[in-house]
Amino acid sequence: MFWFFFLIALIKADSIELQCPPATASIQRLLDEAYIPGASVIVLNRDEILYQKGIGYHSPPIPEQRQPMNAVSSIFVLASISKTFIAVAAMQVVELNLLNLDEDINKYLPPRMKIIHPYYPNAIITTRHLLTHTAGIGVNLAEEYKFYLPGDDFTKTNLGDIIEKYLSYNNSWLPVPPGHNITSYSNIGASLAAFIVERVANMSFEEYVQEKILKVLGIDKKDAGYRLSNFQDKK
């Protein structure tokens, strides 16, 4: 259960004739070559949307079920772009003096929860390490796959408990100390940073993103959020 947000970027400039805006047929050809059923293409600058187009379908060729892609209303899982929200949230609580990026993360965790690198127990792990993927946390796929739950079932779980269990296994760690010059991309490390934001902000991370980031940007929870149920009244 990671804080994944609900895009596809496809760039293959060497095989497409440069057009502005690009022809729908040329984009469709690239999608077909990559076996992607559909995409929403949006180009913008800091002031306005310059181009937007829905191309293809939401799913493979099952005519009675699939719906055409729509650049305005189609819903996408943004996956690890969610980590952008984690970093923004973390830096916001830093600005509020609720979090020091270079303090031991255990200062911000519940008393019963203590995160220690099993191979380097005397080395501290900081939020900066988590955000830069240098905490020494490795990939434990057998455990990680348990966290991907259907629908909104993630709401039945506790983020802190899941992180603590994952990190209790020695094979969830790398044989390098926190802060070492080895970067290892970590979903669980980013989730731990989100959990720390929960703790210092005294609200769920989902609520924090909605209230402190999306709402400020004028984005309604029916247009972006962590729960599929937010979109249930969308066609």
- Token match 């210092």: residue? 200
Say if residue 117 is in the same domain as residue 168: yes
Per-residue model confidence (pLDDT) at position 175: 96
1 domain-assigned:
no
Residue 22: how many other CB atoms lie within 10 Å: 17
| pTM as predicted | 0.82
Do residues 171 and 80 lie in contact, with contact meaning Cβ atoms separated by under 8 Å? no
- Residues 6 or more apart whose CB falls under 8 angstroms from that of 178 comprise 117, 120, 123, 124, 125, 126, 129, 134, 135, 136
Q: Which CATH number does the domain housing residue 154 bear?
A: 3.40.710.10
Per-residue model confidence (pLDDT) at position 121: 96
Say if residue 204 is in the same domain as residue 117: yes
Per-residue model confidence (pLDDT) at position 228: 85
Residue span of the structural domain in which 163 resides: 82-214
Say if residue 18 is in the same domain as residue 51: yes
- Of how many residues is the chain composed? 235
3 domain-assigned:
no
Say if residue 30 is in the same domain as residue 141: no
Say if residue 93 is in the same domain as residue 68: no
Using a 10 angstrom Cβ sphere, with 0-12 exposed, 13-18 middle and 19 or more buried, the burial of residue 188 is buried
Per-residue model confidence (pLDDT) at position 176: 96
pLDDT tens digit sequence for 156-210: 888 999 999 999 999 999 999 999 888 999 999 999 999 999 999 999 999 999 9
115 domain-assigned:
yes
pLDDT tens digit sequence for 17-49: 556 777 888 889 999 999 999 999 889 999 999
Say if residue 61 is in the same domain as residue 86: no
Say if residue 170 is in the same domain as residue 194: yes
Distance of CA 8 to the CA centre of its chain: 14
Q: Give me the number of domains the chain comprises.
A: 2
Per-residue model confidence (pLDDT) at position 24: 87
Per-residue model confidence (pLDDT) at position 22: 74
Say if residue 132 is in the same domain as residue 151: yes
Residue 9 has pLDDT above 70, yes or no: no
pLDDT tens digit sequence for 211-235: 999 999 999 888 888 888 888 776 6
Report which of 205, 124, 123 is spatially closest to residue 158, judged by C-alpha positions. 205
Peptide bond before residue 21 is cis, with ω within 30 degrees of 0: yes
CA distance 189 to 193: 6
Q: Which of the listed residues 57, 79, 101 is the one where a domain comes to its end? A: 79
In this prediction, residue 141 has a pLDDT band, given cuts at 50, 70 and 90, of: very high
pLDDT tens digit sequence for 56-115: 998 877 767 788 999 888 888 888 999 999 999 999 999 999 999 999 999 999 999 999
Tokens of 164: 């603590």
